[in-house]
Amino acid sequence: MEGIVFRKLSVAAAAAAAAAAAAAAAAAAAAAQQQQQQQQQQQQQQQQQQQENAVSALQQNEMTAG
């Protein structure tokens, strides 16, 4: 009887460990996705800043040429 209870507890512990590992893997994947989104956002901001700088430079050139 004690052996059956122990086996059931072992199975439950193994299932809990597997669930914890799956949760950890999901958290790691979510963190990686968030980091990728932040990098994309930074790249977009840099491109927008470069475009604004280019427009500003063109406007200054037109003003000095005019």
Residue 20, in any domain of the structure: no
**At residue 8, does pLDDT exceed 90?**
no
Residue 46, in any domain of the structure: yes
Number of folded domains in the chain?
Answer: 1
Residue 15, in any domain of the structure: no
Domain range enclosing 60: 31-66
Residue 3, in any domain of the structure: no
Residue 2, in any domain of the structure: no
User: Between the CA of residue 65 and those of 9, 56, 57, what are the distances in Å?
Assistant: 84, 14, 12
pTM over 0.85: no
Residue 42, in any domain of the structure: yes
Residue 57 corresponds to which tokens in the numbers above?
């430079």
43/55 Cα distance (integer angstroms): 18
The pLDDT-based confidence of 10 (bands split at 50, 70, 90) is very high
**Model confidence pLDDT, tens digit, residues 30-63:** 999 999 999 999 999 999 999 999 999 999 988 8
- The pLDDT mean for the chain works out to 92
Nearest by Cα to 21 from 5, 34, 29, 33: 29
